[in-house]
Each structure stands twice: as structure tokens, then as C-alpha cells.
Amino acid sequence: MRIDPVATGTRPELAELEAAIARQRGRVSPLYQVLLNSPPMAHGWEQLLTAVRRHNSLPAATRELIILRVAVLNGARYEYEAHLPIAMDAGASQQAVDAIGDPAGIGPGLDQAAHVLMELTDAMTQDVEVPEALFARVRKLHDAQQVVDAMVTIGAYNMVSRFLVAMHIGH
């Protein structure tokens, strides 16, 4: 890691924040230990990612496939390994996981609704801009809240993966 993690329980002024993170995540992971070097960032990060993970209108398996696809595209091994069991527990099939595992393209094994969201993930992650034709296909299969939730999930997990990779967390 490029910045030393804050060991849990070593800074009394962080006890409340550490407890909140542990309540939502089950533990204070190495990612959050690094983030705790900036308590306001750790707090905001936790708020955003909790909303993405716990208040998302997409099916949990689809949300997790998006997160895995972002991790694949960005080479974020730590993120991929953290979310793979969550995806499987949420009902993602091995075939679906395999379909998104190649950064060069999306393979077979996804239904139409999930496939178009993986295309959206690729566009937002690799090009930032979403072509109108792709957006129209996404919108045809998903309501407004699902579209917003998908795009926020993609953006948020690009933030996560890029932070992880840049900080060498999980290398």
C-alpha cells in the first residue's frame, strides 16, 4: 500500500466512524483503513457506497455483475475478489460471471437486460461517453430509477477500483 492503513482502534477520535463502517461492512477492511487517513472522505465514501449496495433498485445479482465488470475492466483484483462471493450469494450464475470476465468483450450467458447494462458499464468505464443508441437500448429495458442506479453504481465502483489500483491496495 502506498499509504499506511490506520489500524482499527488506535485513534479514539475515529471510533464512531470505525463502528459505523463495521456495522455496514462487517469489518473495517484494508480499503477503509487507508481511507481513515482522511475521516471526511471515509465517511462520505461509506455513505455513497452503502446507498449503492443497500438501496439499489437493480437486482442484487445484476448490481454485483456491474461491480465485477468494472473491476475486470480496471484490473482491480481486490475489488473483484471481494465482490465475487457477494455476486454468487446474490444469485449470479457462474455462466454470467464468466460472460463478464474478459476485458476484451462480453461473452454469452447474460439475459438481454443484464447484457445491455454490461455494455453501459463498458462505455462508461472505457469511454465515459454513452452513445445515444446504447442509452436508448438501456432505457427501453430499465425504468428511470434503474438507469440512474446503474449509472451511479458504475461511476461509484470506477472510483473504488481506481483508488484501489492507484493506492496498491490488494497488490
What pLDDT, on a 0 to 100 scale, did the predictor assign at position 170? Answer: 87
The reply to whether CATH 3.30.559.10 applies to domain 60-167 is no
CB atoms within 10 A of CB 63: 24
Q: What pTM value is reported for the model? A: 0.95
**CB contact at 8 A, 53 and 153:** no
Q: Any idea where the domains of the chain sit in the sequence?
A: 12-54, 60-167
**CB contact at 8 A, 69 and 104:** no
Q: What is the mean pLDDT of each run of 10 residues along the chain (171 residues)?
A: 96 97 94 98 97 97 98 97 97 98 96 98 98 98 98 98 96 73
What pLDDT, on a 0 to 100 scale, did the predictor assign at position 171? Answer: 73
What pLDDT, on a 0 to 100 scale, did the predictor assign at position 45? Answer: 97
What pLDDT, on a 0 to 100 scale, did the predictor assign at position 5? Answer: 98
**CB contact at 8 A, 77 and 52:** no
User: Which phi and psi angles does 38 have, rounded to 5°?
Assistant: -130, 90
What pLDDT, on a 0 to 100 scale, did the predictor assign at position 44? Answer: 97
What pLDDT, on a 0 to 100 scale, did the predictor assign at position 60? Answer: 98
Rounded CA separation 90/9 (Å):
32
